Amino acid sequence: MAFELPSLPYPADSLEKAIDKLTMEIHHGRHHKAYVDNLNAALADQPALQTKTIEQLLREIQTIPEAIRQKVINNGGGHANHTLFWATMSPNGGGEPTGALAEAINSTFGDFATLKTKIKEAALARFGSGWSWLVLSNGKLEITHTGNQDSPIMQGKTPLFGVDVWEHAYYLRYQNKRADYVEAWWNVVNWKEIGTSFDKAKN
């Protein structure tokens, strides 16, 4: 079965606290769609791979035929990363995490403010295009960043959320002010979704 572009879980103009409508429309309808289309094209003559989930493809990336491996990294990673990105934002987002996730953040980083600082540092440290991530690695929270559309799943880690720092994610509103975009992003972060993913990954 071919991979499909997921629908946005909210209207494109509903994240205006951080991201404008036009950016959302272009980002989802053009960029993400291109990753899905290109992934399906790369797998067109690989029926065995077409039955795998995107997580399986990325987790087993070294078993993918070399001729298409980079295409799967680029486009499969782009599909997985963006699917998570949309899900971990909400018009009713913002605030701070609660429950087990909040406890783990406080235990690992000291407090929520430090998490925010470190996510921002990772976002600004990524030269060029990429992502800043909060991941679960060997049962522990970790902040990392990856280039292009590389997914932490390929490293055996479970991404809980990622901040997309490709210029297409923020340039219409923020131009070269990546730090301002990352700061605004916290106004739409969906802690309920992220907390549920954390609980599931820990169990």
Please state, in angstroms and rounded to a whole number, the distance separating the CA atoms of residues 47 and 104: 41
pLDDT per position as a tens digit, 73-132: 999 999 999 999 999 999 999 999 999 999 999 999 999 999 999 999 999 999 999 999
Q: Return the residue matching tokens 């820990």.
A: 202
Write down the H helix ranges in 51-177. 54-59, 66-71, 77-87, 99-109, 112-125, 171-174
Please state, in angstroms and rounded to a whole number, the distance separating the CA atoms of residues 70 and 91: 35
**203 pLDDT higher than 90:** no
Please state, in angstroms and rounded to a whole number, the distance separating the CA atoms of residues 60 and 16: 37
Q: Return the residue matching tokens 């902040």.
A: 143
pLDDT of residue 126: 96
pLDDT of residue 176: 97
pLDDT per position as a tens digit, 176-195: 999 999 999 999 999 999 99
**44 pLDDT higher than 70:** yes
Going by C-alpha positions, the residue among 136, 22, 159 that lies closest to residue 146 is 159
**154 pLDDT higher than 70:** yes
pLDDT per position as a tens digit, 49-70: 999 999 999 999 999 999 999 9
pLDDT of residue 61: 97
21-87 classified as CATH 1.20.1080.10:
no
Please state, in angstroms and rounded to a whole number, the distance separating the CA atoms of residues 61 and 40: 16
Q: Return the residue matching tokens 């960043």.
A: 145
**18 pLDDT higher than 90:** yes
Q: Quick one: what percent of the chain has pLDDT higher than 70?
A: 100
Class of domain 99-202 as given by CATH: alpha beta
Please state, in angstroms and rounded to a whole number, the distance separating the CA atoms of residues 7 and 57: 22
Q: Are 3 and 51 in contact (CB under 8 A)?
A: no
- Listed by start position, the domains of the chain span 21-87, 99-202
Q: In b/e form, how buried is each residue of 2-36, taking b as 16+ CB within 10 angstroms?
A: ebebeebebebebbeebbbeebbebbbeeebeebb
pLDDT of residue 202: 86
**1 pLDDT higher than 90:** no
